[in-house]
Structure 1
Amino acid sequence: MAAPTDRSAAVRAALRTPTPRYPGDLLAGTALAEGIDLSREHGLPDDIAGFLTASRQRQEAIAQRRRRVITVLATLLVLALLAGAGALWQWQTAVAQRAAALSRRLATESGTLINVNPDLSSLLAVQAYRTSRTPEALASLRTDAYLPPGRRLLGHSDAVNSVAFSSKSHTLATGSSDGTVRVWDTDSGKTRTRLRGLSGEVNSVAFSPDGATIATGSSYSAWLWDADTGKPRTPLTGHTDTVFSVVFSPDGHTVATAGADGTARLWDAATGKPRAKLAGHTA
């Protein structure tokens, strides 16, 4: 038989120790494995065999406790993952519900504006559908899709402050902060005539009852214009501040103007001469 190795000698020395009083005195790891091998090969006294048995039982108990800890930790991890998934699902559900509620409100608002402001109604319908594809949003989108396209009159380079229809069919005048007045063909959306040379912003435009003359009110001036040619006819001179409003009398013979100078004035529409100054306002 081969001579025992140094490790075997160490194991034999450990096996010759008295019966252990503390768990730390028991064998573990490689020493325990080699002790068991020696016991199988040579047989050992009962006290040493008991020592090996106690060591093995302690290692088995440690392994069992380790397996229980791993099982508990794995269970806790699964529970944590399930709780996280549940919280994520609840959050996604809440977000979806809020989006659906907002979509329905936008769709409802779109429906209230469809006959008042079709362009805004269409924009709200699109936003409602983008927010959440609710049945209400889809219905609103379909309703707005059947609206006839509106006509935009594009040309002014600044705010449009006043609009007026002519008694002549399909004619509209607009006054803008860009200092111009445009006369439009409402069928084609094209500019017919452009009134130039006004001082400052145009605040008010008005057609005479026969549609032949346009009155304008702007910064420090009021004018009468030929509606067909766009050429100036007569200045209405007298206001000392911005003219905010102009209007023709029903018979077309008189023009009324109101200005920031605190006065309203009446003018002869044919000659442009002043007829009356209506003073008394304090603003």
Structure 2
Amino acid sequence: MPIPSRAALVDHLVRTRIAGDVATPRDNNLSHYRKLANGDRHFWLGLELGDRWRDEQDVLAVMAERCGVSDDPEHRFGQDTIDPELTVAALDRAAARLRKAADGTERVLFATGHPGGLLDVHRQTAAALRAAGCEIMVIPSGLTADEGMVFQFADVAVQERGATLWHTHSPAPMAAILDALEREGRPMPELVVADHGWAGCAAQRGLDAIGYADCNDPALFLGEAEGTLQVAVPLDDHVLDPRFYDPMTEYLLDAAGLL
């Protein structure tokens, strides 16, 4: 697959609705922003936000700036957006951190709470970093969280429930991994590449973390704004076909010097 130019990637993101006019409706976005502001920790994604984001309009302002949703508080229903230029800019920031990991042959942990969409993005990135000399961390065995098992599939930590890879926003699976590493006296990852609560939990523990996040998951963008999270990449995290993410991943790895 040829490496897309920046302009070609922007066009691809819009055509496949990874960015641009995304499937996530405006009322769902605003509902999540409100619940986060009201202290619903499910929407904090493992971050400790305290009382700093109690005004949902402040949350909306950050999401408009960092994700590209409409900044109009009166726009309450219908279409919302992710700015594809912000997606590519975040991919460039993520690429710089991946390059640093490769240059330092760092220990890197990959995880996803959205295996139906992002598993192969993480798998391809892990393979590229391993080829560059990084250690792709193997998690301890026998871990459980939220009534499910936590294990690795294709180098990516996931949660399994009922023989199904589970969509989860919870930070508990990442907490289980990090706690087990500490119990076993093993070193912590130097970089975590993840999404949802997996990324938020790692960042809150003081680890460098890159997180992919949809426009209805504001916590990671707030974490980046506060400097807790290294990079939050805005995108629709479950589009029609997971192969649609391939050009984005190719762009990321090329920008990181990993191809």
Q: Higher relative contact order by CA 8 Å / sep ≥ 6: 1 or 2?
A: 2
The answer to whether the superposition gives a TM-score over 0.5 is no
TM-score w.r.t. structure 1 length? 0.20
Which structure has the larger Rg? 1
